[in-house]
Structure 1
Amino acid sequence: MAAAGRAIVQAVRLHSPLIKFPNRLSDPRPNVQEVLKMGVAAAQQSSGTHSSPMTSAPSPLIRLPGTSDTAATIRDLPQRYRRRIVAPEEMEYIQRGGPE
């Protein structure tokens, strides 16, 4: 019966965060069209220097008919299809590992 009166003590380990959110507020947002053009130009340049069939340049991009993917189309999406914005407090809560 002496063991029943003892308090149960649990050791709490320090939290090591598994998720890290990068600070992207200071990074400039890339323009998708410019990035695609640079990728195609780099692929064309590299195809001239390498003669191996394994490193051949990919076929040129083909535009599919329909609505293009622009900021305007994303802005016009209904709220239920938009990505939810994560608040800084929620990011800190996630990094901290939940309630303390």
Structure 2
Amino acid sequence: VVKPHTPLISFPDRRDSPKPNGPPDTAEIIKTLPQRYRRKLVSQEEIEFIQCGGPE
């Protein structure tokens, strides 16, 4: 006789949880980021260098 399967992992019922209203506000996320994780500022000289295609 084969015993009925008993799952070892139980997952929460997610049908009753509220749905998110949309993507999070990026500006709010950036404000809460520590300085070390923020994007480094690019100088105008670097921007022009990149736009020209690099060294010639």
TM-score per shorter chain, which class?
A: 0.3 to 0.5
Give the number of the structure with larger relative contact order, counting CA–CA contacts within 8 Å between residues 6 or more apart: 1
Decide which structure has greater helix share.
1
